[in-house]
Amino acid sequence: MSALLFATVVFCWGFTWYAIALQLGSVAPEVSILWRFLLAAAVFWAGLAVTGRLRRARARQHLWFAAMGLTLFGLNFLLVYGATLYVASGIVSVVFTLSTVFNAFNQWLFLGRRPSPRVLLGGLLGTAGVGLLFGEAFLHVAVGSEAALGVALVLLGTYVFSLGNLVSLRVTGPGAGPGPEEGAGKGIDLPNAIARGMTWGALFLALFALARGSAFVVEWTPVYLLSLLYLAVPGSVVAFLAYLSLLRRVGADRAAYATVLFPVVALTVSTLFEGYLWTPWSLAGLPLVLLGNLVIFARLPVKSGAVPAKLSSSS
């Protein structure tokens, strides 16, 4: 099951970069993000209601749902979209792969979980590999305040995303189900938590758009509407449900490796639809990404009496 969740995240998010590019135009980025999560939240609420899985939440839990919305479905997207105004989207996707390192660091800082050498090594290999995939793009970035601002914005957005990973674990981790334990998410399963988190995220985005004086408009073209539908359903409903499920199964450090692999999918999409040309840099980077995946997830030979690794295709 974990392997299926991982593949779902990589492929769903791998196509979002192209869909986001199709969204850029007459609609302000914060408004497009707002429509994305309003639609995604509506799908979650409708699905929960139809299947009879809608659960009530206590008032104090909404503080954590709000934090989840701000970090996973609001501020991080505003920062990443803002970064694309100053640097190429390919570079943004490369910097975002540092979420593997941020997640390992934050789990150590806030949860006391020391990252294993395999996770750190695999994350660094993957990040270096993606860096090579977009190596020529890096060489063409002019050294100046705008490029520095763009990198700073995506770094901050990536760190906010990493904090959102930990908030999600707090909301849906131990104590998240019915039982005697007191937890932020007691009685709330993952779909109910995501529905509330996305709703809070949409509220934050609406307030931000109001503060900026942005027009709440929609571009009524097939390209905009179809890309919005993709970003809302596969890119948000399916991908976030799969990613946060994976997060609970394997931990934030391993789950975040999906952010290293989905730029490879994005690069393939660019090859097919945007005329991306492979170079010696990119051909050298792809094996490093795959090697990083192998380092983190490959099952090592188990000595007699040892406990086998948790992650497997059947877990």
Question: pLDDT at residue 154 above 90?
Answer: no
177-200: pLDDT as tens digits: 333 333 444 557 899 999 999 999
Domain ranges of the chain: 2-297
Structure confidence at residue 136 (pLDDT)? 63
Question: pLDDT at residue 204 above 90?
Answer: yes
Structure confidence at residue 77 (pLDDT)? 92
Tokens matching residue 197: 């988190």
pTM for the whole thing? 0.79
Count other Cβ atoms within 10 Å, centred on residue 259: 27
> Whats the size of the chain, residue-wise?
315
- Ramachandran sector of residue 231 (left: φ over 0; alpha: ψ -120 to 50; beta: rest): alpha
Measured CA to CA in angstroms, residue 134 lies from 19, 63, 81, 248, 259 at distances of 19, 39, 19, 31, 15
143 vs 18, which has greater pLDDT?
18
12 vs 134, which has greater pLDDT?
12
Q: Please, where are the H alpha helices in 134-189?
A: 135-139, 145-172
Find the largest Cα–Cα distance for the chain.
Answer: 65
Measured CA to CA in angstroms, residue 84 lies from 3, 10, 35, 77, 312 at distances of 31, 21, 19, 11, 36
